[in-house]
Amino acid sequence: MSLHFLFVYPDFLEETRYVRGIPGNYSEGIASISATLKGEGHRVSLYHQTYMPGKAEFLAKIKEWGPDIIGFSLRTTIMDCASAMLGWLDEALPDIPVIAGGYHPTLAPEEVIALPGVDIVSRGEGEFPLRDLINGYDRTGKFNTGELGFWFKQPDGTVLRNAMRPYPRDLDELPFPDLSLFDYRNLKSNRVSTAEVIVSRGCLYACTYCANANIRNAYEDKKNYARFRSPENAVRLLERVKQNDPNIKYLNFNDAILNMFPEWFYPFMKLYKARVNLKFTCNLRFDHIDEEMCRVLADCGCYLVTIGLENGNEEFRQKYLHRSMNNEHIVKVSQWLREAGVTVYTYNIIGLPYETLALTLETVKLNARLRADSEIVSFFYPYPATALRDISVAGGFLDPGVPLSGKVHLRMPDYPRRDIIYARYSFHRLVRAYRKIYSDPDPGKAARKEAALDRRILSPVHPRGFIGAFRSVSHHTIVGLKRFSARCAPAVYKKLRQLKYKMK
């Protein structure tokens, strides 16, 4: 006997929740669990939601699949929509067991287990815990409520809370992800001939805006949480991805830090160049990079790296973000990468607790100095179970009892909402302005220009509210046009992307 397990994967943004036709994204976690369950003889299906369905449509699709068990994959920013769908299941199909898993249930299990429609919360990495839970249910018709890694809601409303199950130390024990579960050729990344891949789990660091440290601390073994597949196993996985779809010409490594362990990185790169040899992008960390590493990345096909800068003030970055990096080294790394021919994008966060517009200007100026090719700028989001959320609450900037809405979530007297919006949507223009100033060969003249621009931006009479509102509309219009072109003219979009990154 085998069971039918249905994944429900809400894969849309809040601002586009009702827009149809937007391509979806690949999920490594879902694909890996699917491979594990299929290996046990179970049937697995995927309800890949790229828009928020209405109640009738949602229930009709669930009934059409007729699953024995439903698994919801949940992230924090989708919880309003997910709560509605779970409620519909609770009303119409209460006899189908529902398991909620993913980052949000792992970090906020009390919130999730309390939701109508949720019977079980899965915490942590789910391949082997779900395998054993589903196999036991298949044999006996009952869930083993002592299974590690799960919380169980009892008929009387009480909750059985089990500890986390140890994570697999050796990632080579995991099956290769089930790529067939997805409509692979219609994924967002595939439309530009790119496959999303992951060859690791976890991270060494404890950045305060990220939940990684709290997930690591939930496990008994905290020391070995950051793990990679062996170089040989990782390359075999990537060879399988290539064989799965000949359309794939590029890879995007979604690992937290691809070069986290140099003793793994260099042997992997050697095998990668010999047997995979596709151009790729990856995430790096400034204090993990030297000049030789930049040359190796470029030689093996890396055309773009994304690196977290987050804030340009060293003291602020260390105190509030726990990122100990030297600005001069950051500038050097960018120079090494550019000299190697690798495009550099930086991650930046605006609206952090205790930040001010003057501090954001330091972030702008550091980006201008390091001459990155572009900047990825995000509003700060106080994710649950993160140190920076606790700092926000303790500082009186965030009311934990009020649901989050909109883009700016903190209320700070020294950094009002209008200034945060202004900084976010003016960021790229300001970087270009300061970069032009820094290119002046006369240091004295450049310093005077910099001081004058500082005064204008920080002046109380500068119309930051109007400028921010106008540029916000402009930004979203451009983003909408890009999405439209990617959806309706993918060949043109792909060609423009190749030209942008100087790819063949």
Q: What pLDDT does 211 receive? A: 87
Mean pLDDT (the chain, rounded): 94
- What average pLDDT does range 20-36 have in this prediction? 95
Sign of the Cα torsion 401, 406, 407, 410 reads negative
Q: What pLDDT does 16 receive? A: 85
Whole-angstrom distance, CA of residue 377 vs CA of residue 475: 12
For residues 127 and 33, is the Cβ–Cβ distance under 8 A? yes
Q: Which residues pair with 344 in a beta bridge?
A: 305
Q: What pLDDT does 402 receive? A: 79
- What average pLDDT does range 305-312 have in this prediction? 97
Q: How confident is the model at residue 52 (pLDDT cuts 50, 70, 90)?
A: very high
Q: What pLDDT does 480 receive? A: 76
For residues 457 and 357, is the Cβ–Cβ distance under 8 A? yes
Comparing 16 with 104, which gets the higher pLDDT? Answer: 104
Residue 367 has pLDDT above 80, yes or no: yes
Residue 503 has pLDDT above 60, yes or no: no
Whole-angstrom distance, CA of residue 355 vs CA of residue 388: 12
For residues 218 and 106, is the Cβ–Cβ distance under 8 A? yes
Q: What pLDDT does 242 receive? A: 95
Token readout for 433 is 């302005």
- Note the pTM of the prediction, 2 decimals: 0.92
- What average pLDDT does range 143-160 have in this prediction? 97
Percent of the chain with pLDDT over 70: 96
Phi-psi region of 503 (alpha: psi -120 to 50; beta: other; left: phi over 0): beta
End-to-end distance of the chain based on CA atoms, in angstroms? 50
Token readout for 471 is 């540029």
Nearest CA among 32, 41, 40 for reference residue 125: 32
Q: Give the number of other CB atoms < 10 A from CB of residue 392.
A: 23
Q: What pLDDT does 275 receive? A: 98
Buried b (16+ CB within 10 A) or exposed e, 171-180: beebeebbbe
Residue 490 has pLDDT above 80, yes or no: no
Residue 286 has pLDDT above 80, yes or no: yes
Q: What pLDDT does 493 receive? A: 64
Length of the chain: 504
- What average pLDDT does range 472-476 have in this prediction? 87
Residue 421 has pLDDT above 60, yes or no: yes
For residues 261 and 199, is the Cβ–Cβ distance under 8 A? no
Domains in the chain (CATH in brackets) are: 4-161 (3.40.50.280), 189-500 (3.80.30.20)
Residue 498 has pLDDT above 80, yes or no: no
Residue 41 has pLDDT above 80, yes or no: yes
- What average pLDDT does range 231-258 have in this prediction? 96
Nearest CA among 288, 285, 325, 291 for reference residue 305: 285
Nearest CA among 57, 56, 108, 98 for reference residue 78: 108
Q: Which residues pair with 225 in a beta bridge?
A: none
Token readout for 238 is 């990537």
Token readout for 296 is 């190796």
